[in-house]
Amino acid sequence: MNAEVLFIHPGNHKKNYQDLAKEFTAIATPAWTLLLANYMRINGISTAIYDVNVEGWDGSVIKELAAKYSPKLVVLMVYGHNPSASTQTMPAAIKIIKDIKKFNSEIPVAVGGIHPSALPERTLNETGADYIIQGEGAYTLLGLAKMLQGRGEIGKISGLWFKEKGAPKFTSPPMVIADLDGELPDYAWDLLPDLNNYRAHNMHCFQDFNKSKMPDFSDIRSPYVAMNTSLGCPYNCSYCCINAIFGKPGIRYWSPERVVGWFAELADKYKIKNIRLDDELFILDPKRVEKICDLIIERQLDLNLWVYGRVDTIKDSLLKKMKRVGINWICLGIESGNEHVRNNVNKNIRKDIRQVVKSIQANGIYVLGNYMLGLPEDDLRTMEETLQLAIELNCEFANIYAVMAYPGSQLYLWSAKQKGHIPDKWEAFSQHGFETQPLPTRHLTAEQVLRFRDEAFVRCLNNDRFLGMITEKFGDKTRDHLEKMLKIRVKRRILGDS
């Protein structure tokens, strides 16, 4: 079974999440790879996908893949569970490329994704890849595949980096896909061996676990899909790197009809219920959200949806209908409890955070609060404000992150000018990894930020009020699972662990 283009989705789940990887974290479908793979095949290029997070990797795998597919081009799209996870995936991508080149240096390799788009020349030099895809990649990949067939010139392919006589060369700025329905009409779900290999985050299924007869929490978290219904973001928060791949701030949508058609196919053909929508802002256009809800009701789909939203884009009038169609979780970017700290990174929240959270919960939807510790203006007092806000809000779950200056963000550009702010290895950008090294603030060291973050996560979730709420809403089995997770302590090199 030959494939002209072999997509390899890189990753090292165990290394990035340590012991949390065994049971508690998600294993997400490679959404952008699936979109591009389908784009290639509808344009006449045969494709295949190998997902390292599911199927594993060692130096012998490429020999098996080469024998099975005889690829003319290998493509790695570098990203993780969310856009910010792109950089921490780079070590895995670099190892895979080295293994490919060791096996057969003549196999052309192209690398794309957020991190390569943000640092294309550096990525070209340090990975040993033949090509770097800057931007979304669909037009670039198709042009590259045709060129390798002898049907085109490299200079006419937009968004492509390569080396000429040993020196990096760039063709032209990448083109943006305008018609998503027409040009990226579907995901290549059928190229994955089994969607049961993927699992939702544990909290995504809290509401189903206690009433389930399944003995293991993982049994109700699969099959699972992570996907997009829009691309890009119209906002410009300093810490975010999303627009490194999609260009200037903005948002493009697939139509409601297309989106609900995907849901129906996933439900009917693949028996999918658990779906995370990775859109930066699914809840932005209320008319579109309502139309999607109406179509889900019309199709009578049984879904468990997780969506992302800004605090100040939540429309109270839509919440009841959103809950009706299975939007059970809204992940809110609250970030900081201090207004000055938020405003300094262009995260201006124009609504009362407490009231918005209460309104969502009053409609039966659960809130996952996202918080960031170590923003440039943070000190111990302001980080404690953030923690106290998280404890007060008592959302059904909380993600507490140490701030990273991800390549592609404004924060990275600022940090690169400061001595010692940018780690010297990409592993350090992994939130839960051993090598984690967050951004120092103007007042705190990286060690102070990380120590506070790790202690804050436990203080936020391992207290009687939170655990009592978990028991009341989700039952004893869910609380037991959560308490088991809270006993796991990730190790950190900069905090003296070994």
- Secondary structure string (H, E, C) spanning 254-266: CCHHHHHHHHHHH
How far is residue 33's CA from residue 141's CA, in Å, rounded to a whole number? 12
**Sequence spans of domains, the chain:** 5-170, 194-403+438-495
Strands 47-51 and 167-170, by their bridges, are unpaired
Residue range 457-487, pLDDT digits in tens: 999 999 999 999 999 999 998 999 999 999 9
Residue range 413-442, pLDDT digits in tens: 999 999 889 999 999 999 999 999 999 999
Identify the pLDDT of residue 104: 97
Identify the pLDDT of residue 210: 73
366-379 average pLDDT score: 98
Identify the pLDDT of residue 22: 85
Beta strands in 52-136 (DSSP E): 73-78, 109-113, 131-133
DSSP designation for 494: G
Reduced to 3 states (helix: H, G, I; strand: E, B; else coil), residue 124 is: helix
Q: What is the mean pLDDT of the chain?
A: 95
Identify the pLDDT of residue 94: 97
Query: For residue 50, what are the CA distances in angstroms to 3, 55, 68, 75, 79?
Result: 12, 7, 11, 10, 15
Identify the pLDDT of residue 211: 73
Identify the pLDDT of residue 248: 81
Reduced to 3 states (helix: H, G, I; strand: E, B; else coil), residue 48 is: strand
Residue with tokens 């932005």: 284
**CB neighbour list of residue 415: distance below 8 Å, 6 or more residues apart:** 405, 421, 422, 439
Identify the pLDDT of residue 214: 66
Q: Is 296 exposed, middle or buried (0-12, 13-18, 19+ CB in 10 A)?
A: buried
Helices (H), 325-379: 339-343, 353-362
pLDDT category at 81 given cuts 50, 70, 90 is: low
Count Cβ atoms below 10 Å from residue 354 Cβ, excluding itself: 12
Residue range 28-44, pLDDT digits in tens: 999 999 999 999 999 99
Residue range 54-66, pLDDT digits in tens: 999 999 999 999 9
pLDDT score of 392 more than 90: yes
Identify the pLDDT of residue 79: 84
| % of the chain at pLDDT higher than 70 | 98
**CB neighbour list of residue 150: distance below 8 Å, 6 or more residues apart:** none
258-272 average pLDDT score: 98
Reduced to 3 states (helix: H, G, I; strand: E, B; else coil), residue 334 is: strand
Residue range 206-226, pLDDT digits in tens: 998 877 766 666 679 999 999
Which residue in 112, 259, 75, 292 sits closest to 180, CA to CA?
A: 259
Strands 274-277 and 109-113, by their bridges, are unpaired
Q: Is 394 left (phi over 0), alpha (psi -120 to 50) or beta?
A: left
111-115 average pLDDT score: 96
Count Cβ atoms below 10 Å from residue 108 Cβ, excluding itself: 18
How far is residue 259's CA from residue 157's CA, in Å, rounded to a whole number? 30
Count Cβ atoms below 10 Å from residue 269 Cβ, excluding itself: 11
Count Cβ atoms below 10 Å from residue 455 Cβ, excluding itself: 12
Identify the pLDDT of residue 304: 97
Phi/psi at 57 (nearest 5 deg)? -150, 135
How far is residue 132's CA from residue 116's CA, in Å, rounded to a whole number? 7
**CB neighbour list of residue 486: distance below 8 Å, 6 or more residues apart:** 458, 461, 462
Which residue in 42, 46, 56 sits closest to 9, CA to CA?
A: 56
How far is residue 52's CA from residue 106's CA, in Å, rounded to a whole number? 22
pTM of the model: 0.96
How far is residue 243's CA from residue 231's CA, in Å, rounded to a whole number? 9
Identify the pLDDT of residue 281: 92
Residue type, 264: A
What tokens were used for 169? 């060369």
**Fold of the 194-403+438-495 domain:** pyruvate-formate lyase- activating enzyme (3.80.30)
How far is residue 35's CA from residue 39's CA, in Å, rounded to a whole number? 6
Residue with tokens 């006993």: 487
What tokens were used for 455? 């202690």
Report angle CA 132, 134, 137 to the nearest 5 degrees: 95
CATH number of this structure's domain 5-170: 3.40.50.2300
